[in-house]
Structure 1
Amino acid sequence: MTTHRRAFRGVPEVLGAARAWLRRLLDGHPCADDAKLIVSELAANAIRHTASGDQTGTFHVALPSPTTKAVRAPCGFSAPGPTASTVVDSPSPLRLPTVSRSVAITTAGR
């Protein structure tokens, strides 16, 4: 199976370009809107919380090519198309993941 891959600069302004690229690949697929939302959220998190958001950072999106056989689709029903999409952020030895505590009014990290 072919996998479509593309790298994007790690700035918020390119999130629309990532969604447009995915929209072209998934044209007519019943889970296209879900996939665009998921990739947009993962890419935004990569930009905000990892080295992907640094001055020279990037994030990468990978999407298996749609097939003609029915597979379990990411939106939860059988449909022709990809089984998953992936966003890979840029690792940084300077910013390791940390556990943070949330409270009822926390707006991020839940």
Structure 2
Amino acid sequence: MVECDKKNFDEEVLEYKDGYVFVDFFGDGCEPCMALMPHVHELADKYDGKMKFTSLNTTHARRAAIKQKVLGLPVMAIYKDGEKVEELVKDDCTVEAIEAMIQKYI
């Protein structure tokens, strides 16, 4: 899983042209984010090679998150050619829903 920051988010996600990119937007003080993180990493391992998996700590990259219209956490999103094609927000971020979203794009 590629850990993005404000310096490399555009390059790793928005400028990526070799398929779909999954982004886990999380924050330091977000308990639901921390609870989901091990499951998201398991999914990244499970689907490795079928989709690029990245994460962005919005606590340290607030402007990048706001530019992507990430206003609440957690947010799980899938991008293609620099455009967000689907996202799950807050209570919709269950392990089952996240995996189902991933499976649509692999």
Fold shared per TM-score above 0.5:
no
Superposition TM-score, scaled by structure 2 size: 0.31
TM-score (norm: length of structure 1): 0.31
Higher share in helix: 2
